[in-house]
């Protein structure tokens, strides 16, 4: 890189333990450039749930606390926007507040008048031009309109607005790439990376977390957000078919588990830090991806797939386009019975060659390599704009 960029990076909440591509790219951008991470408001209306109420109070505290949170890597600005987009005057208040807070923070950080605006969510699509961007980058990581509880038409409108403004659009999955490139120019496929060194620790001697230390028999493990797209019924089916195993699900729970008949050998142990995940995976005999097959999953590229493979553990998954590409190293099931049968076979997989092959498949897919390719394309766009201005 020939020069530092001033980057306004608009993403989801940075402090959550469920690390997404948004977090990984921001960290690497900040190592080379001046970066302000803006925590935009959620895409959906909050529910009257303990989880959502906690998030609201946390966001209020961060937004109005006098001392903004400063992480070792970069500054984080948390916006609190009133969740009533149908009200025109509240919508206008939200926009003005967001613009003023971002501009004020950029001034404090000595940003130029032409920052690079990098978005991983479309929440602030209708205010970005007010920031006088040098370039707009849209890293479209998901089919946002298919997420639970969102106003679909509003999210589609925001996504279209941001896509039409963007100088570059990156998507991690082929279905999203195909859809975007039919409508917009400068669309690139940029699959997720993986922190190989971090997750490969699961195959080295080390501690077993106390939550798993006393479990007898095989452990079937999952880590990630436990939302509506996780097929809890499938996990329960596997547990009943294989009573000798213990199914461990690690992650923040946003669904009501009371609606399920959960057997005793299925345990939800809640959210754990990103740093702890290799220790938990060390005890896994099999890692699973039990997704519900819907539009959001079809368009996704599961980050956890590469993280699982980096551990070397056997992986059993449902089928979706981006997972199917890894059939050589992932056992893919088409129904509940096949899923349980594949898990049953995988718990006896002690093949050292197969373990090494799983790790080798993702060895070059580091976040550093992904970031480097994306940055080169951004640099090209910035240079072309500079040439046109001269």
184 and 213 housed in the same domain: no
169 and 287 housed in the same domain: no
pTM exceeds 0.75: yes
Burial 180-195 (b: 16+ CB within 10 A, else e): beeeeeebeebbbbbb
Tell me whether residue 1 is exposed, middle or buried, using C-beta atoms within 10 angstroms of its C-beta: 0 to 12, 13 to 18, 19 or more: exposed
- Which strands, in side-by-side order, build the sheet including 116-119? 75-78, 34-39, 6-11, 116-119, 135-139, 168-171, 187-189
155 and 282 housed in the same domain: no
Place of tokens 């373990």: 355
Domain housing 132: 6-193+366-389
201 and 255 housed in the same domain: yes
164 and 23 housed in the same domain: yes
247 and 125 housed in the same domain: no
How many structural domains are present in the chain?
2
112 and 226 housed in the same domain: no
169 and 294 housed in the same domain: no
Give the sign of the dihedral formed by CA 3, CA 386, CA 129, CA 16: negative
CATH of the domain at 273: 3.40.50.2000
End-to-end CA distance of the chain: 20
- For 77, phi then psi, to 5°, come to -110, 120
354 and 383 housed in the same domain: no
156 and 182 housed in the same domain: yes
Give a yes or no: residue 282 inside a domain: yes
> Strands, DSSP E only, in the chain?
6-11, 34-39, 75-78, 116-119, 135-139, 168-171, 187-189, 219-223, 246-250, 266-270, 286-289, 315-318, 331-333
pLDDT tens track of the chain, all 390 residues? 458 999 999 998 886 666 888 889 999 999 999 999 998 865 545 454 544 445 544 544 454 554 555 555 789 998 866 555 555 556 777 788 889 999 999 999 999 879 999 999 998 998 899 999 999 999 998 888 887 777 888 889 999 999 999 999 999 999 999 999 999 999 999 999 999 999 999 999 999 999 999 999 999 999 999 998 999 999 999 999 999 999 999 999 989 999 999 999 999 999 999 999 999 999 999 999 999 988 888 888 999 999 999 999 999 999 999 999 999 999 999 999 999 999 999 999 989 999 999 999 999 999 999 999 999 999 999 998 877 665
185 and 69 housed in the same domain: yes
- Give me the half-sphere count of Cα atoms (radius 13 Å) on the Cβ side of residue 31: 11
151 and 101 housed in the same domain: yes
Place of tokens 């213990």: 246
């Amino acid at each position: 890189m020939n020069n530092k960029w001033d980057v306004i990076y608009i993403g989801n909440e940075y402090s959550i333990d469920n690390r997404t591509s948004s977090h990984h790219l921001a960290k690497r951008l900040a190592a080379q450039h001046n970066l302000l991470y803006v925590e935009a408001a959620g895409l959906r209306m909050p529910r009257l749930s303990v989880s959502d109420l906690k998030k609201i109070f946390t966001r209020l505290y961060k937004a109005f606390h006098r001392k903004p949170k400063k992480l070792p890597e970069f500054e984080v600005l948390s916006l609190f926007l009133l969740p009533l987009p149908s009200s025109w005057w509240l919508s206008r208040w939200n926009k003005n507040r967001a613009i003023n807070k971002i501009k004020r923070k950029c001034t404090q950080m000595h940003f130029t008048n032409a920052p690079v605006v990098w978005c991983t969510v479309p929440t602030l699509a209708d205010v970005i031009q007010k920031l006088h961007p040098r370039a707009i980058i849209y890293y479209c990581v998901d089919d946002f309109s298919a997420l639970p509880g969102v106003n679909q038409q509003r999210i589609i409108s925001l996504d279209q607005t941001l896509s039409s403004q963007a100088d570059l659009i990156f998507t991690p999955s082929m279905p999203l790439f195909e859809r975007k490139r039919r409508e917009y120019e400068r669309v690139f496929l940029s699959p997720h990376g993986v922190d190989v060194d971090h997750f490969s620790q699961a195959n080295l001697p080390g501690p077993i977390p106390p939550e798993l230390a006393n479990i007898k028999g095989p452990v079937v493990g999952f880590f990630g957000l436990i939302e509506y797209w996780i097929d809890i019924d499938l996990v329960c089916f596997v547990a009943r078919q294989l009573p000798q195993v213990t199914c461990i699900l690690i992650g923040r729970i946003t669904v009501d588990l009371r609606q399920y008949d959960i057997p005793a050998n299925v345990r939800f142990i809640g959210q754990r830090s990103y740093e702890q995940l290799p220790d938990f995976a060390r005890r896994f005999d099999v890692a699973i991806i039990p997704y519900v097959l819907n539009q959001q999953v079809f368009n996704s590229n599961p980050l956890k797939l590469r993280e699982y493979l980096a551990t070397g553990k056997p992986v059993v998954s449902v089928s979706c386009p981006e997972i199917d590409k890894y059939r050589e190293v992932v056992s893919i099931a088409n129904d509940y019975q096949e899923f349980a049968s594949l898990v049953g076979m995988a718990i006896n997989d002690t093949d050292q060659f197969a373990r090494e092959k799983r790790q080798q498949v993702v060895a070059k897919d580091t976040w550093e390599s992904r970031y480097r390719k994306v940055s080169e394309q951004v640099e090209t766009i910035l240079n072309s704009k500079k040439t046109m201005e001269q």
